[in-house]
Each structure stands twice: as C-alpha cells, then as structure tokens.
Amino acid sequence: MTDTTLHTKAPTTAGTDESEGMSYLESLPRRLITLYLPLFIILVVLLFPFYWMGLTSIKPDEQLIDMEKYNPFWVVHPTFKHISKLLFETQYPRWLWNTMYVAVGATTLSIFASVLAAYAIVRLRFKGADTVGVLIFFAYLVPPSILFIPLASVIQAYGLFDSPLSLILVYPTLLIPFSTWLLMGYFKTIPFELEECALIDGASRWQILVKIVVPLAIPGLISAFIFSFTLCWNEFIYALTFLQSTPNKTVPVAIVNEFVDGDIYKWGSLMAGALVGSLPLVILYAFFVEHYVSAMTGAVKE
C-alpha cells in the first residue's frame, strides 16, 4: 500500500512544480524583460522610419534646415505645402499609376508562371525535379546588377525601351524563382490523396490544378503575391535603366530624380513622396498579413 500511495502522489507533486514554474514565467517582472521590452524596441525600430517621413513631410523649410534651433524629432507650426506640391504641382499621380500598373502586371504574370512550375515540380515528379527546384531558387540569388545590362539589350531590340511594359516583362526574372520555391513548399502541404481521388473520377491535371490545388493554396498564393508586389513596387535598378522620360517613371525613381537637384535635396517633397508611396503596401499587409505568415510557416515546415 505504501508503494501505491507514493506512485499516486508523484504526479501531483510534478504538476504542482510545473504550475509554479509557469507562474514564475508569467510574473510581471519576467514579462517586462522577456516580452514587453523586446516588443517595444521592435516597434520603435519598425515605426520610426514612418514617423520620420511623416514628420519631415509637414515640417516648414526653416525647420528642416536649422536643426540647432528646432527639435529634429518634433515639428512646430506644421504645413502641408510639401504634400500639396507633390500631388498638384508634379506628375506624382501618374507615377503612382505607372507603379501600380507595372506591379500588378508583373506580379500576375509571375504568379501564373510560378503556379505551373511549382505544381509540375512537386506533383508530376519527373526525373530531376528536385534539381530543377534547387536551380530555380539559385536563379533568385543572381544579383540584378548583373542581369540588367543584357536585359537592356533585349528590351532595346524589341523597341520597348522607355515603356512600363518593359518592366512587366523583366520583373518576372526576379519574381518567378522565389515565388516558385515558396509555392513548392505550400503545395507539399496539400494531401496528395485529394488528387488521387480526382484522377480516379476522371479529372485531368488541369482540372485538378484549377479546381482543387489552387483553391486550397489561396494563402500561399496571397503570400507570393504580396512578396512579388512589394518587390515590384520598390524596385529601383531596372526602373532607372529602362525608363527615361518623366511621365513614364515609377515612384521610387521619379521622386529621387525630380526632387534632387545636384546637391540640393528637397527633403519635404522627398519624404512626402516616400510616405504616400508606402501607403498602398501598408494597406496590403494590413489586410493579408495572416495569410502571409501562415503561408511562410507552411513553406518553412517543408
């Protein structure tokens, strides 16, 4: 009876010790150091650029120049002159439209190609599929500074120089490798038994892809779309090389070229352009951040 009593009491003691340990981890001083302080530091680091852009956008010129007289981290007598000049005295709305047009077109083209490539590598299992998948990802590691010279010759030969269409055709060289790798990881999480049942019922590979795989892979597609859209929106080297005329430029190139005159930087308009140009991406991430994180987690697990 003594042994039985000891055996029955042991789990209770272990459970008590475990609960005491968890309560210690959940104590307020512990959480201040391990949770709230790191979160505060991360928030400051991430949000400070937006604060600085917004602050600079509404500062009068004298406060931008005289840092000793005025506090650089605060503004006195804010003005909307820089934002008004950006929106109504420049071609910024046109630049914003060009950026949106290029980003949506290149992203759509890249996602379509990536879905086909990822599904073929993961599901068709042809000879050398794994090697092809690795080589596609290695293509993403090639620096754009190496590719833009031969691509410029190709674009010039086809008569697409100084046209936003040239960027739509060039950007997939950056987007397809990573998007394919990301979707490969997500497609592996979809049970293959679903496709086997569809094959038994007489469905074709195209029907399986469109009606089964793609609907189940919506979070992965959203993640790939957000990544590709962000890269297109912020890309600078190709846009600087292929677009020359002011009306055809995208936002990253236009605000640098138009608001920098030699060694004179129009900081108010520059920061206003950067702030307004970042708002579409902020809205996009705000609505789809959960799908983005879930898809990235699924890809990493595989």
Helix, coil or strand: residue 260? strand
Which pLDDT score is estimated for 128?
A: 78
The list of the chain residues with pLDDT below 50 reads 1-17, 24, 299-302
Rounded distance between C-alpha atoms, residue 107 and residue 176, angstroms: 9
Residues near 245 by beta carbon (within 8 Å), at least 6 away in sequence: 162
C-alpha angle with apex 293: 51 to 142, nearest 5 degrees? 85
Q: What is the pTM of this model?
A: 0.78
**What Å distances lie between residue 25 and 22, 30, 34, 36, 162, CA to CA?**
5, 6, 9, 13, 60
Domain boundaries along the sequence of the chain? 13-79, 84-301
Residues 139 and 177 sit within 8 Å (Cβ to Cβ): yes
**What are the tokens at 244?**
């020359």
What pLDDT is recorded for position 26?
A: 61
Q: Which residues pair with 108 in a beta bridge?
A: none
Fold of the domain built from segment(s) 84-301: MetI-like fold (1.10.3720)
* CA 92 from centre of chain: 23
Whole-number pLDDT of residue 293: 65
Round to whole Å and give the CA distance between 100 and 259: 21
Count the Cβ atoms, other than its own, within 10 Å of residue 98: 22
What pLDDT sits at residue 168?
A: 93
